[in-house]
A and B are shown apart, each in its own frame.
Chain A
Amino acid sequence: MPPSQLKQLKASLRETGVLGPQQSKKQKRQNAKSGVGAQNRNQRNAALQAIRDRFNPFEIRPTATRSKFETTTRDDAKSTKATGRRPGVTKSLGEERRRTTLLQEMNSRNKVGGLVDRRFGENDPTMTPEERAAERFARESQKKMRKESMFNLEEDEEEFQLTHMGQSLTLDGTAVDDFDGGDLGGAESDNDEEAPRKRKRVGEDDEDDEDFIDFGEDGEAQPERKKSKAEVMKEVIAKSKFHKAERQQAKEDDDDLREELDKELPDLFAALRGIKAPAKPEPPKQDLDTMNPERAAMLREPEGKDSEKEYDQRLKQLTFDKRSKPTDRTKTEEEKVEEEAQRLKKLEEDRQRRMRGEQLSDEEEEQESDKDSFFQGEGDEESEVDDAAAFGLHTQSYEPRPELAVEDEDDFVIDDDLVETRSNVSLSVDESDMEEEEVSGEEDGEESDEEDELINGMTLPTAGSATTSTAVQVNQTADGKLAFTYPCPENHEEFLEIIENVSGQDLPTVIQRIRALHHPRLHPDNKAKLGRFAEILVEHVAYMANELAEPSFSIIENILRHVHSLAKTHPINVAMAFRARLREISEDRPLSLLPGDLVVLTGVSTVFPTSDHFHSVTTPAHLCLARFLGQCSLNGVSDFVTGAFASSLCLQYQSVAKRYMPEFINYTLNALCNLAPLDMPAKHLAFPLRKAQQSVKLAPTKKVMSRKLQFRDVKTVPSDAQAQEDLKFSLISLYVSLLDTASDLWADKSAFIEIFTPIHSVLTHIRQCFKNKLFAAGRDHVQATIDKIDSHLAQSRLARRPLLLHNHRPLAIKSAIPKFEENFNPDKHYDPDRERAENNRLKAEYKREKKGAMRELRKDASFIAREKLREKKERDAEYEKKYKRLIAEIQSEEGRAANEYEREKRERAGKR
């Protein structure tokens, strides 16, 4: 039989140490002091609570649902969770909370004002009054120590202080001790006796403690007051400052000594060399050592200032000076040649890589990121993915095409718009803006050929050589009129003004001089100026070819080479200039190129690598050429001459990369068909045949001679009939040789047979036509070309293999692995739709919160009702009490009166 409840209770109380052996008084006191008491109290409370719970099983309510069988999927943590709730505890907690909040509010309803006790620890029952006081004091002093504001200047005066009885409680030592005052007198004698002892203890305990809190009890009485922390710190700081100054002094002295020694070094060197330097006058020696160091420093100052300044200057110079590096060994001739070869090889390799469309390694990442952003931008703009856009074909909203660009072969529109519109808008010429050149440099006449930089090594004339070389130059140019200085032009009009009086032959010299005068090394602005100048030169090339009746190609060539050399330093400017020309072509006259355009396109082929897979200048240039060849009008012989030039340019462009140009083939065959003396038999033609507007057939009436075509044929068609026939004949032979070259270029194309079979048939037709004796001159040429193409065709037939394009690894079959959830928990929601899951979570939370809030409100209401009822009851009880008291009073009074009456009556009766 278990022991009785009382016994059990006692046993458990003893176990937890609530009941135990009596503590001694000293122990108690110590505990109280070190705060163990408070801790113990807390512990004891907890223990008591536990015991109460144990002895009152009704306090704990088991969980509503019965526990289930152990399963693998069930969360372990959940099953081990506390099984019961404590409705009583929670209820009482809630009650308590309401009492502190709701009840307060209820009581202070309809009331204004009130006092809030914010004193520290006022409501903390675990603190003893002493602790409270100590803590408050600590806080106060902390607040003082901590300088809240850096800029608070009046902290001492204005600071809020703790006071007691109107006296401040500070540690300054000036504070008057409470007990000093005579007001207490001898009444407190026992207190007086206690005080020394107390102080002594305090002094013993906290000997080294910096944070010791002095209550200032009779501080005056002590012979040597303990220094405050601030004072100690001050002392320490002063000491360290003093030491530092001393150290510095010593260092300075050392430096002085060293300097003196250094000064004597040259003498030492002289002594070593065996030559005696003239004795230097001894500087007035001061007895510095004996002097106060500070004073000595003061005396030394003036001379020191200068040296310091100089030193600073030197230091600055040194920091900005380049570090000397070991220079390269002077190379031998062979090494130089080899290096050059290496460089060229590398450049060629780069070019090959660009041709294949690979990216150069250093540009790769940049490109990549570019691409990314490019595609992202694309994606953002339109949600619908354009398949074509992936290949760089963008469906822009083109402005309505001008009518001259017609693609149809049925109705071909002749573009008569041959009037060139010079598109460059003249900028306002500001003569004053043109800077006055200060240098009148001159360079030796002809530029060195092998130089990349056309003006290399002649840009910075030395003053001495200037005059002599000038004289030479004057002699060389053979006319003294040529100025030596030219302003750098801002636009083409200005350039034309500059060269107005310059003869064509001198133009290269002028350009050379402008470049030399504005070399970037001479002035930082010159780089931009030369960039602009390069653009002007590009414009001028087109201008020369267009406007001049007989443009001198040696000059154009020279200018183009200048442009090329400028392009090395100003690639953007030159590229933009060329692009502007191309844009002008494509907008104004895509189907009728001017001589200037042809020259510009030729310039593109020399300045930029036409073999690149993609190039910002050559790709549009290709397109311009191809468009012209594909759609240009075929009006007369002159059109065919222009076309021949454009076709030759195509081959020139493809001379390295050997890319295929369908337009070239089409155009050449068309031209041959149109120029041939007889019509092609209207057979199955693989290419679309376009008939010239007026017949340009070679008339089989006269004997014709072939000649090399000249560029001026583009501009002028000979009026003489014989010359015209000659021209046609020359054109045919040119086209034939173009095809000849093309067959070499494209010999290893896999579709060579398909491309060149129609060409073969056309050439055969031409050969047929040339059977006529009149055309004997061209027969051999055509025959040679046919033979060549034949041999290429035979080669190609032999080399033909079925295509094997898809040697890829076979694609893996797409597999869909079911998505297993590891550690699946049925209580968790695995909603793959994040938004929905989030929604559900929020809904559940809302529901929970709502329920909780309603419950709380209900409880609040019941609490208020209870409180009101209690108040009412109290009031009623009070009333009852009062009522009863009054009744009793009245009754007693009445009783007394009745007694008195009785007495009176009796008395009267007695009297009677």
Chain B
Amino acid sequence: MPSITDSSSKKRKVTKSTGAPSSKRRAVAEEDVFSETLSKVQQLEEQIAESRKYYNNIATLLTMLNADNSAKKPELAVAVSLCRVFSRLMAAGNLSESSRDAENEKIVVTALTLSMRLMKETVSHFEGANSSVWSGLFRNIIEALVEARDGEEVRGEFLTKFVKEYEDIRFHTFAQIADYAATRRKADIMEILISLLSACDEAPGSDHQIDVESFFAVADPNNKRLRTVHGHKRRAQDAWLAILRNNLSQAQRKALLRIMVHTIEPWFTRPELLMDFLTDSYNEGGATSLLALSGLFYLIQEKNLDYPQFYAKLYSLLDADLLHSKHRSRFFRLLNTFLASTHLPATLVASFIKRLSRLALNAPPSAIVVIVPFMYNLFKSHPTCTFMMHREIRDKDFAADIEKEGYEDPFDPLEADPTRTNAIESSIWEIESLQSHYHPNVAAIAKIISEQFTKQAYNLEDFLDHTYQGMVQGELGTGEKPLRKTPVVEYQIPKRIFTDRLLQEDGGVDSGAGCFMRGFWDFS
């Protein structure tokens, strides 16, 4: 791997440069003590490099690093040697492999902390090493993090301790992920990347000040991007784009679409870049289209995106599965916004009404209770469409014709263009039929279209989230409660329920209650 060679070359540099200051200091005082520790550190380090069995020396080095805070000099040496050790370890892939068992889990987290600290030290002490550290050591860290198996804990640690705390870490993380995701990756890796990115902090507002003092490592004075919100956003945008361009599974695509407006969109300085992804998703059809709608709507609304055939596409989304989908409420909320304009052509609105009423014939009650008030609102804002409820034929000949042959439904259900379906010439017999729905409440709601339109509008939100479970519970309640009214009992006890009991009395013809069941089934 090229990264390994990078880091090893840097390592060499580091060792060289540490040599110089230490030789100077040695001349001042406490030469013996210092050289002793130094040699000890070096010895330990060599041992670690030599074999796995000396890995305990890492702990020793750590204690040395932590123990004498007062003595500045040896710390540096220890740190440097630790840096070398971990770099080597990481290069060997030990870090990611060691996460296999629980005991090593702690070591991994410690390793992460240490390497981060190491990185900080390196950046602060070596001039010019800045960019090389970020693109070298930090890149290794990110890669190890992403590829670590069962690395949930480390990643969580990384996110909470570093990414959310320090803005520069976040900046560089975005940059590295953008790099990393530029090549095609496996699906599970993508999953990790998406979760990492979406867990990053909220996007900073435009008036947010990037505080250089709060950075994790000393900032590179040349890197201007690091100091502006725009630069940060740019990195995030790159990272997201890299992910969106990568191969995504259907589920990932849906997940991304679901977080699009709230999580991804704010990071984008140029949301137009999302356009391709969104339109692709929208054209895909099915649930993906439904989910892409909100993102697309955001672009249309905010960025003046021109989406030709938007309504045609929206119309095509109204298919048989829509009302049974779990995104039904979400879709209806959006549909309510899209059709809210009173400037839409009545033919188009009529098509939507007709299509919805067709779908209502096969819809669960929870969907019907949304559709009818929605329709009511549409009728209220587009009075031209009310012909669908009430059409008097003035033409005498035509009326006679209808009287003779019946009224042919002019609606063309197969027409894709909502402005050409002729729906406005049709009637909503479907809703009229639903007025005899088996559920009394649904039937009552369906009846609102044949009553006077006195109410200004129905609040759609009240009708959206009903379910079978809720309806059953509404009828039955959760516990035993006395009935408000004595239930009526069928006045006649049937002669037979399952069997052919006393059939000969009725002359062998089975009629009366329950004859269907006995006709279809054989109870014996």
Within the complex, which residue of A357, A576, A651, A751 is in contact with B433, where a contact is CB–CB below 8 Å?
A: A751
**Closest CB of chain A to B459's CB: distance in Å?**
5
Whether the pair A662, B363 counts as a contact (CB closer than 8 A) is: yes
Within the complex, which residue of B408, B450, B497 is in contact with A561, where a contact is CB–CB below 8 Å?
A: B497
Whether the pair A554, B489 counts as a contact (CB closer than 8 A) is: no
**Closest CB of chain A to B455's CB: distance in Å?**
8
Whether the pair B495, A609 counts as a contact (CB closer than 8 A) is: no
Residues on B with beta carbons closer than 8 Å to the beta carbon of A663: 364
Within 376-423 of A, Cβ neighbours of B (below 8 Å) are at 386-389, 391-396, 398, 401, 405-410
**Closest CB of chain B to A613's CB: distance in Å?**
5
Q: Decide yes or no whether B440 CB sits under 8 A from chain A.
A: yes
Whether the pair A553, B524 counts as a contact (CB closer than 8 A) is: yes
Whether the pair A660, B438 counts as a contact (CB closer than 8 A) is: yes
Residues on B with beta carbons closer than 8 Å to the beta carbon of A863: none
Q: Decide yes or no whether B225 CB sits under 8 A from chain A.
A: no
Q: Decide yes or no whether A483 CB sits under 8 A from chain B.
A: no
Binding site for A on B (CB under 8 A): 287, 320-321, 323-326, 358, 360-365, 368-369, 373, 386, 388-393, 402, 405-409, 413-414, 427-430, 432-434, 436-441, 443-445, 449-452, 454, 458-459, 462-463, 465-477, 480, 482-499, 501-502, 513-517, 520-524
Whether the pair B393, A711 counts as a contact (CB closer than 8 A) is: no
CA gap between A392 and B393 in the complex, in Å: 37
Whether the pair A755, B361 counts as a contact (CB closer than 8 A) is: yes
Within 743-766 of A, Cβ neighbours of B (below 8 Å) are at 749-755
Q: Decide yes or no whether A811 CB sits under 8 A from chain B.
A: yes
Q: Decide yes or no whether A685 CB sits under 8 A from chain B.
A: yes
Binary contact track A550-582/B, C-beta < 8 Å → 1, others 0: 000110110011001101100110111001101
User: Across the two chains, which residue of chain B brings its CB closest to A745?
Assistant: B516
Known contacts A410-B287, A564-B489, A608-B490, A586 near B473 by CB under 8 Å: yes
Within the complex, which residue of B390, B438, B444, B498 is in contact with A659, where a contact is CB–CB below 8 Å?
A: B438
Within 494-536 of A, Cβ neighbours of B (below 8 Å) are at none
User: Across the two chains, which residue of chain B brings its CB closest to A399?
Assistant: B478
Whether the pair B391, A395 counts as a contact (CB closer than 8 A) is: no
**Could you list 26 A-B pairs, sorted by A, with CB under 8 Å?**
A388-B369, A553-B498, A574-B489, A575-B487, A579-B476, A586-B473, A602-B514, A609-B488, A615-B487, A616-B485, A616-B487, A623-B365, A626-B468, A627-B468, A660-B433, A661-B438, A662-B361, A688-B320, A688-B324, A709-B521, A710-B523, A738-B520, A798-B405, A801-B407, A803-B428, A805-B432
Known contacts A407-B326, A616-B485, A606 near B474 by CB under 8 Å: no
CA gap between A655 and B358 in the complex, in Å: 24
Whether the pair B483, A572 counts as a contact (CB closer than 8 A) is: yes
Within the complex, which residue of B323, B390, B454, B515 is in contact with A811, where a contact is CB–CB below 8 Å?
A: B454
Whether the pair A800, B470 counts as a contact (CB closer than 8 A) is: no
Within 838-863 of A, Cβ neighbours of B (below 8 Å) are at none
Binary contact track A616-629/B, C-beta < 8 Å → 1, others 0: 11011011101100
Known contacts A606-B490, A606-B513, A624-B472, A711 near B362 by CB under 8 Å: no
Whether the pair B444, A391 counts as a contact (CB closer than 8 A) is: yes
Q: Decide yes or no whether A583 CB sits under 8 A from chain B.
A: yes
Within the complex, which residue of A395, A409, A660 is in contact with B325, where a contact is CB–CB below 8 Å?
A: A409
In the complex, number of A-B residue pairs with CB atoms less than 8 Å apart = 327
CA gap between A631 and B365 in the complex, in Å: 12
Residues on B with beta carbons closer than 8 Å to the beta carbon of A603: 497
Q: Considering the complex of A and B, which 9 residue pairs feature the smallest CB-CB distances, nearest first?
A: A751-B433, A802-B391, A553-B498, A553-B523, A388-B462, A803-B427, A408-B326, A805-B450, A806-B390
Residues on B with beta carbons closer than 8 Å to the beta carbon of A622: 438-439
For chain A, give the interface size range: 35 or more
Known contacts A354-B488, A574-B489, A804-B392, A392 near B474 by CB under 8 Å: yes
CA gap between A576 and B483 in the complex, in Å: 8
Q: Decide yes or no whether A452 CB sits under 8 A from chain B.
A: yes
CA gap between A389 and B491 in the complex, in Å: 33
Q: Decide yes or no whether A673 CB sits under 8 A from chain B.
A: no
CA gap between A576 and B482 in the complex, in Å: 8
Q: Decide yes or no whether A439 CB sits under 8 A from chain B.
A: no
Known contacts A408-B325, A711-B521, A608 near B487 by CB under 8 Å: yes
Whether the pair A711, B523 counts as a contact (CB closer than 8 A) is: yes
Within 740-791 of A, Cβ neighbours of B (below 8 Å) are at 741, 749-755
CA gap between A804 and B386 in the complex, in Å: 11
Within the complex, which residue of B414, B491, B520 is in contact with A737, where a contact is CB–CB below 8 Å?
A: B520
Whether the pair A391, B441 counts as a contact (CB closer than 8 A) is: yes
Known contacts A586-B469, A801-B407, A561 near B452 by CB under 8 Å: no
Whether the pair A709, B430 counts as a contact (CB closer than 8 A) is: no
Residues on B with beta carbons closer than 8 Å to the beta carbon of A651: 516
Q: Decide yes or no whether A727 CB sits under 8 A from chain B.
A: no
Residues on A with beta carbons closer than 8 Å to the beta carbon of B492: 344, 347, 452
Residues on B with beta carbons closer than 8 Å to the beta carbon of A819: none
Q: Decide yes or no whether A687 CB sits under 8 A from chain B.
A: yes
Whether the pair B468, A623 counts as a contact (CB closer than 8 A) is: yes
User: Across the two chains, which residue of chain B brings its CB closest to A810?
Assistant: B452
Known contacts A606-B490, A648-B516, A658 near B467 by CB under 8 Å: no
Binary contact track A473-498/B, C-beta < 8 Å → 1, others 0: 00000000000000000000000000
At the interface, is chain B mostly helix, strand, loop or mixed?
A: loop
Whether the pair B463, A649 counts as a contact (CB closer than 8 A) is: no
Q: Decide yes or no whether A630 CB sits under 8 A from chain B.
A: yes
Residues on B with beta carbons closer than 8 Å to the beta carbon of A393: 369, 441, 445, 462-463, 466, 471, 474
Q: Decide yes or no whether A734 CB sits under 8 A from chain B.
A: yes
Residues on B with beta carbons closer than 8 Å to the beta carbon of A658: 436
Whether the pair A620, B516 counts as a contact (CB closer than 8 A) is: no
Whether the pair B470, A398 counts as a contact (CB closer than 8 A) is: yes
Whether the pair B490, A711 counts as a contact (CB closer than 8 A) is: no
Q: Decide yes or no whether A590 CB sits under 8 A from chain B.
A: yes
**Closest CB of chain B to A680's CB: distance in Å?**
13
Whether the pair B489, A805 counts as a contact (CB closer than 8 A) is: no
- 4 new A-B pairs (CB below 8 Å) besides A571-B489, A623-B468, A800-B406? A389-B462, A609-B488, A615-B488, A754-B361
Within 868-905 of A, Cβ neighbours of B (below 8 Å) are at none
Residues on A with beta carbons closer than 8 Å to the beta carbon of B409: 753, 800
Whether the pair A586, B521 counts as a contact (CB closer than 8 A) is: no
Residues on B with beta carbons closer than 8 Å to the beta carbon of A657: 436
CA gap between A405 and B473 in the complex, in Å: 13
CA gap between A749 and B446 in the complex, in Å: 14
CA gap between A571 and B519 in the complex, in Å: 29
Candidate in B392, B414, B470, B516 with the most chain A CB atoms within 10 angstroms: B516
User: Across the two chains, which residue of chain B brings its CB closest to A750?
Assistant: B429
Whether the pair B361, A630 counts as a contact (CB closer than 8 A) is: no
Residues on B with beta carbons closer than 8 Å to the beta carbon of A803: 388-391, 427-429, 432
Q: Decide yes or no whether A605 CB sits under 8 A from chain B.
A: yes
Within the complex, which residue of B413, B488, B522 is in contact with A612, where a contact is CB–CB below 8 Å?
A: B488
Whether the pair B452, A617 counts as a contact (CB closer than 8 A) is: no
CA gap between A580 and B472 in the complex, in Å: 12
Q: Decide yes or no whether A652 CB sits under 8 A from chain B.
A: yes
Known contacts A392-B444, A623-B468, A608 near B517 by CB under 8 Å: no
Within the complex, which residue of B469, B495, B498 is in contact with A590, where a contact is CB–CB below 8 Å?
A: B469
Q: Decide yes or no whether A684 CB sits under 8 A from chain B.
A: yes
Within the complex, which residue of B463, B467, B498 is in contact with A557, where a contact is CB–CB below 8 Å?
A: B498
**Closest CB of chain B to A588's CB: distance in Å?**
12
**Closest CB of chain B to A363's CB: distance in Å?**
7
Residues on A with beta carbons closer than 8 Å to the beta carbon of B502: 449
Residues on B with beta carbons closer than 8 Å to the beta carbon of A624: 472
Residues on B with beta carbons closer than 8 Å to the beta carbon of A410: 287, 325-326
**Closest CB of chain B to A667's CB: distance in Å?**
10
Residues on A with beta carbons closer than 8 Å to the beta carbon of B434: 660, 751
Whether the pair B466, A388 counts as a contact (CB closer than 8 A) is: yes
Whether the pair B462, A751 counts as a contact (CB closer than 8 A) is: no
Whether the pair A800, B407 counts as a contact (CB closer than 8 A) is: yes
Within the complex, which residue of B361, B364, B389, B494 is in contact with A751, where a contact is CB–CB below 8 Å?
A: B361
Whether the pair B429, A751 counts as a contact (CB closer than 8 A) is: yes
Whether the pair A802, B501 counts as a contact (CB closer than 8 A) is: no
Whether the pair A568, B499 counts as a contact (CB closer than 8 A) is: no
Within the complex, which residue of B388, B408, B485, B514 is in contact with A652, where a contact is CB–CB below 8 Å?
A: B514
